[in-house]
Amino acid sequence: MTSNPFNYWDPVIGEQFVGRKEEVEKVARELAELRRSCAIVGGRKCGKTSFLKTLQDILLKRLAQAQSRRLHILPVFVNLRDLSQYSIGGVFALMLNTLYDYFHSPLQRQTLNLTLEFDLSGTQLEAFVQNNTQECPLNCFTKMLEELILNFFNVHGLLRIVFLLDETGKILEQLWARDLFSQLRSLIDGEKLRQYLCFVIAGSSKLREKDEQGSPLWNVNEPVYLISLKDESILEILHQVTTVPDDFATAVLQLCKGHPYLAQYVMYCSWESLQQGSVPALYEIENRFRIEHMGDLAQWKADLGEAGLLVYDVLITANDWLSEPEIKQLIQDQTIRSGVTSVLTNLWSYSLILRNHTWKYRVAGILFQNWFTENVRPSLRSHLPAANKPSLAVLPGEPDIHIGFHTRIFPTAYWNALTVERFPLVKCSIDNTGEGCTDARIVIEATIQGFGEPYSITLDVPAHQSKDAVLLPTLR
């Protein structure tokens, strides 16, 4: 029997890398034409390493075709997990050692299919590596690159080194991380190396939060967010090597909804059954994931933080598209409310929520949602006041809606109350298309039994138009 082709534990490149090829090509083009560094922003297991590896593969193929005296772009993949010295100098030393191997190590060159020849004998870089130096200050790092670039120019032409920095989460909690980002910015923003050096830095949205505390590298690094893949891209993964029944494919989409790692895992677990002509039970695969990847789920929870978990819970409860202002209405804590923008970006880059063209959000995929509902929501809701948690046995009454008009022509209002586990939502549709209508400002107030203070909303409805609104209670 053919071995299982689905691989969820290693980065994917080539034909298996789907859904983000346009973004990779754009980054490769901008590195060459605009000398623009960028940041790859995504959550845990969202494809950051695959993105970097695919970018490196594209750039190496173009490097092999580069003509003499033309621009040569050398992508150097640096995994910060390999740090031996946790310091700024340790990071620069790791970058130099990796760069040296690209020219000197036969095994590394064979692995990368790197054919470009360049002799490093007698250079400062060779001396640095052979002395087994563990740290390198910024000024020495700069001098070694200047010498390398000048010597390369005399032999081949212009060299632009692109450092692909992966696993930045390993250094974000270090006290020196902010200073490192400032020094990286000085390298690509200064006069000496700006033509010859770029960075592509992969990390979560915490990378931006840390960077903005200092001299923002973000300002010169164009962000690329690894959001949920479109359904057609997930289907492309599903149909890569086997025939998948339509009903099964639809169920997988509902379970994963744009998360490539989860799609690869589900197909890895399903492949043998599908090869035998049977359809596996997805609930069994979901339970298997919870057991085998308990650490990933726990890390996602930790990465989201209290604010992220609360916002995610709000979106689960609403079970609908909500705008940022609507989400803020549901959060009483001013500190959390003020950070909703960054929280939504974080959830979005983790492929846990979707964002549509109107910048409204809703939950994506039920695998994490189901785990969250069973394992996180109970403890999260234990901190809410009892008034905000009506039991299903005592349902709120029908809303008493009062509509005040600031014009003489009254539009027509339609409403319905949706009872959900935590609170009711009141959906209103305002029809201002009747004969003789004029522009209207409408104040809608809903009072629901058992929920104390009324909730209200003000709408401006132009003449001959209709508008929908959702009234949301405030969490106290």
How is 1-65 classified by DSSP, letter by letter?
-PPP---SSS---GGG--S-HHHHHHHHHHHHHT--EEEEE--TTSSHHHHHHHHHHHHHHHHHT
Q: How far is CA 62 from CA 74, 258, 323, in A?
A: 10, 30, 43
pTM score of the predicted model: 0.76
70 is a domain residue: yes
pLDDT (average), residues 94-98: 97
154 is a domain residue: yes
136 is a domain residue: yes
Task: Check residues 440 and 352 and name the one with the higher pLDDT.
Answer: 352
129 is a domain residue: yes
377 is a domain residue: yes
Same domain (yes/no): 368, 305 = yes
Same domain (yes/no): 62, 203 = yes
Q: Are 290 and 297 in contact (CB under 8 A)?
A: yes
d(CA 67, CA 427): 64
d(CA 99, CA 105): 10
Q: Is the dihedral of CA 372, 376, 382, 384 positive or negative?
A: negative
Same domain (yes/no): 351, 448 = no
Terminal CA-CA length for the chain: 59
39 is a domain residue: yes
Listed range (102-106, 319-323, 399-403) with the worst mean pLDDT: 399-403
Same domain (yes/no): 146, 27 = yes
Same domain (yes/no): 160, 307 = no
Residue 246 has a pLDDT of: 87
Report the range out of 133-142, 179-188, 230-239, 249-258 with the highest average pLDDT.
Answer: 133-142
Same domain (yes/no): 377, 407 = no
Task: Give yes or no for residue 381 having a pLDDT over 70.
Answer: no
Question: Which two three-digit tokens encode residue 379?
Answer: 């403890």
Q: How far is CA 388 from CA 210, 391, 446, 476, in A?
A: 35, 10, 16, 7
Which helix (DSSP H) or strand (DSSP E) does residue 162 occupy? strand 159-166
pLDDT (average), residues 125-129: 95
64 is a domain residue: yes
Count of structural domains within the chain: 3
Contacts 24+ apart (CB under 8 A), 325-332: 326/470, 326/472, 327/361, 329/455, 329/472, 329/474, 330/472, 330/473, 330/474, 330/475, 331/474, 331/475, 332/474, 332/475, 332/476
Domain of 429, in residue numbers: 400-471
Confidence of residue 123 (pLDDT cuts 50, 70, 90): very high
Closest by Cα among 8, 362, 29, 20 to 224: 20
Residue 398 has a pLDDT of: 41
Q: Are 307 and 336 in contact (CB under 8 A)?
A: yes
289 is a domain residue: no
Same domain (yes/no): 70, 99 = yes
Task: Give yes or no for residue 165 having a pLDDT over 90.
Answer: yes
Same domain (yes/no): 356, 407 = no
Task: Give yes or no for residue 420 having a pLDDT over 80.
Answer: no
Confidence of residue 3 (pLDDT cuts 50, 70, 90): confident
Residue 279 has a pLDDT of: 87
Task: Give yes or no for residue 448 having a pLDDT over 60.
Answer: no
Question: The tokens 């092999």 sit on which residue?
Answer: 64
d(CA 395, CA 424): 9
Same domain (yes/no): 360, 413 = no
Angle at 23 between CA 20 and CA 199, to 5 degrees: 120
pLDDT (average), residues 296-309: 89
Burial level of 100, CB count in 10 A (0-12/13-18/19+)?
A: buried
Same domain (yes/no): 105, 152 = yes
